[in-house]
Amino acid sequence: MSFASLGLSPALLRAVRELGYHAPTAIQAAALPPILAGADVLALAQTGSGKTAAFALPLLQRLVAAPPRPGPRALVLAPTRELAAQTAELLRELASRLLHRPKVALAFGGVSINPQLMALRGGCDVMVATPGRLLDLLEHNGLTLAGVECLVLDEADRLLAAGFADELHRVLAQLPARRQSLLFSATCPAGVQALAEQLLHEPVRIAIEEAPPQITQRAIQLDRAQRLPALRQLLRDEAWARALVFVASRYTAELVSDKLFAHGFKAGVLHGELSQGARRDVLAALKAGSVQVLVATDVAARGLHVEALDAVVNYELPRSAADYTHRIGRTGRAGAQGVAVSFICADSAENAESHFRLIEKRQGQRVPRECLPGFEPQAVATEAQASGGIKSATRKSKKDKLREAAAKAATDGH
């Protein structure tokens, strides 16, 4: 199947060719025709399957075909600023290749609202935003949603899981009743199903069953003090073109990145306290190959897409099994093969072996333990240590409990 058979205009066909899209993915082939026909859509597909282009292409075609009017005419809501930024980037890349270029605006929290308000003074055709910052813009009279013709909820399951349910319903209350609504999600838990029933009118339901990601998982036992030299050895031996190293804090991210750079590696850092410009620059450098190793906190575990990311290394284990899944899911995307390496330190205060066993249990897969030559650990967890600590590993943080309570209240109320 080709993009030409899906009803795209010649201008957008030229744009996808210039961006290197040779053939539509399964979700694109299934979603483009009903979206172009104006139907509401509930689309379920894995992260990395091409969902963004599946709604970006028909959105732009609709905007170009209709006479211009005050906007925004399309609204895309995303759970994280990284995902919002990547969505806006794709829309802008496609729009830049069209004769009549729709204006794409981007808004997210964590930065000053003033530049975003200034950018909206000339209006926009597409608004890509996180829910909280969109509400801020509305309260500042930065825009109105009265003209929205199409609403897209991207990664709807994560929008609800992140505690955005209340903000989401406040946004929905300001949208016109007559509109096209598109709901894209990787999973369909009860909250997403309830939202779909409320939001969508006679939707076309699409569920793409794809083969699971081809990720080889490795668990390396070593002492805490050996992690940095072992990481350098791994990077040299494996010669990964692009690797993502996860740590637990901004301090560790900067420390590990600086140490790798001092030993000749092209290393960068990504954490929540960086400016959006700095985040954008380091991600562009990773994609371009001028950064080989990106050391990041969990800010990069969701909404980050880098093609041909060879490996993920858990320098420090994530707090939960769900975070582990999102971390390693940055590699092995779109049919490619990837590697996920986790450092297991018996001498860590967090009881790493016990915690990793819980992760294995949750994902239903046992990962063989191994040692790197020259980095054999002095400490190895006893069976009592390895089987203990489960309760502490599963205990939710106060923030998680508040988010879950908000999501449940929104689901129960609707």
SS (H, E, C) the chain: CCHHHHCCCHHHHHHHHHCCCCCCCHHHHHHHHHHHCCCCEEEECCCCCCHHHHHHHHHHHHHHHCCCCCCCCEEEECCCHHHHHHHHHHHHHHHCCCCCCCCEEEECCCCCCHHHHHHCCCCCCEEEECHHHHHHHHHCCCCCCCCCCEEEECCHHHHHHCCCHHHHHHHHCCCCCCCEEEEEECCCCHHHHHHHHHHCCCCEEEECCCCCCEEEEEEEECCHHHHHHHHHHHHHHHCCCCEEEECCCHHHHHHHHHHHHHCCCCEEEECCCCCHHHHHHHHHHHHHCCCCEEEECHHHCCCCCCCCCCEEEECCCCCCHHHHHHHHCCCCCCCCEEEEEEEECCCCCCCHHHHHHHHHHHHCCCCCEECCCCCCCCCCCCHHHHHCCHHHHHCCCHHHHHHHHHHHHHHHHC
- Rounded to whole angstroms, the Cα distance separating 41 from 182 reads 5
First to last CA, the chain: 40
Measuring CA to CA, which residue among 264, 255, 199, 200 is closest to residue 228? Answer: 255
Domain boundaries, the chain: 3-207, 214-394
pLDDT for the residue numbered 312: 94
The pLDDT-based confidence of 393 (bands split at 50, 70, 90) is very low
| pLDDT tens, position by position, 52-104 | 899 999 999 988 877 777 779 999 999 888 788 889 988 998 998 888 889 99
The pLDDT-based confidence of 324 (bands split at 50, 70, 90) is confident
- Locate 76 and state its tokens: 């895309």
Find the range with the poorest average confidence among 23-27, 44-48, 395-399: 395-399
- Rounded to whole angstroms, the Cα distance separating 165 from 199 reads 13
| pLDDT tens, position by position, 236-291 | 999 999 999 999 999 999 999 999 999 999 999 998 788 767 887 888 898 888 99
Signed CA dihedral, 142, 145, 150, 153: sign only: positive
pLDDT for the residue numbered 399: 47
- Locate 244 and state its tokens: 């993502």
Peptide bond into 72 cis (omega under 30): yes
pLDDT for the residue numbered 396: 47
| pLDDT tens, position by position, 213-224 | 688 999 999 999
- Rounded to whole angstroms, the Cα distance separating 414 from 404 reads 16
- Locate 190 and state its tokens: 């009860």
pLDDT for the residue numbered 305: 67
Measuring CA to CA, which residue among 137, 51, 60 is closest to residue 98? Answer: 60
Please report where in the chains the tokens 């990664």 appear, as a residue: 155
3-207 and 214-394: identical CATH topology: yes
| % pLDDT > 70, the chain | 86
Residues forming a β-bridge with 342: 219, 314
pLDDT for the residue numbered 389: 43
β-strand 311-314 against 204-207: which pairing, if any? unpaired
Length of the chain: 414
Q: Which residues contact 409 (CB under 8 A, 6 or more apart)?
A: 165, 166
Phi/psi at 183 (5° precision): -120, 115
Residues forming a β-bridge with 91: none
- Rounded to whole angstroms, the Cα distance separating 200 from 139 reads 26
Phi/psi at 204 (5° precision): -80, 125
The pLDDT-based confidence of 405 (bands split at 50, 70, 90) is low
Measuring CA to CA, which residue among 349, 353, 381, 378 is closest to residue 366? Answer: 353
Checking if the pLDDT of 234 tops 90, the result is yes
pLDDT for the residue numbered 271: 86
Q: Which one is the CATH code of 3-207: 3.40.50.300, 3.40.50.1820, 3.40.605.10, 3.40.50.720?
A: 3.40.50.300
Q: Which one is the CATH code of 214-394: 3.30.70.270, 3.10.580.10, 3.40.50.300, 1.20.58.340?
A: 3.40.50.300
Contact 54, 32 (CB under 8 A): yes
